[in-house]
Amino acid sequence: MNANLEIISDLKTFITLSATQPDLKGQKVATIMQDFYITFFPSNLQEIIAKQCENQLISINKNRKHNYKINRNIAFGMMKNRIVEVFMVCNPEKILQHLEDLFIQHIEPVRLGRKYAHQRVTVKARSKYQALTNYKRAL
């Protein structure tokens, strides 16, 4: 029974991801499942490495005013190019230790009570810049 609930939960998450990330390439079941697993693998690996950094974060937080946490956006950017190396080299512990050190170098303070409203940029400001021409188009 629990296995069925986990599958349903995974499928809900996958449907949510596919709605927000329409880059799913395949039409066959095997290809879609590969896309499903490759979507979760980097985030799970990042979470495993971040869990191993918790003891260092606790010691860092003792001496500082704010609690600090790992900047997950920068951590993912540093990790995504090294995922393949973890499986290709003979000594993956060295790469994983290097990733832990990089994660600890990029930490950010957790400031409670921040409630700044998000200011949306207009569509025109987000669009590509178009230079004005000095002539009238022929067509």
Predicted confidence band at 100 (pLDDT cuts at 50, 70, 90)? very high
Domain-embedded: residue 121? no
The string of pLDDT tens digits covering residues 24-74 is 666 787 887 888 788 788 888 888 999 999 999 999 989 888 889 998 888
Domain-embedded: residue 15? yes
**Residue 23, helix vs strand vs coil:** coil
Domain-embedded: residue 27? yes
Range of the domain at 20: 2-112
Domain-embedded: residue 16? yes
CA distances in angstroms from 106 to 77, 102, 130, listed in the order given:
11, 7, 37
Number of domain units in the chain: 1
Q: Which residues fall within 8 angstroms of residue 22, CB to CB, at 6 or more apart?
A: none
Q: What is the pTM (predicted TM-score) of this model?
A: 0.62
Contact 42, 76 (CB under 8 A): yes
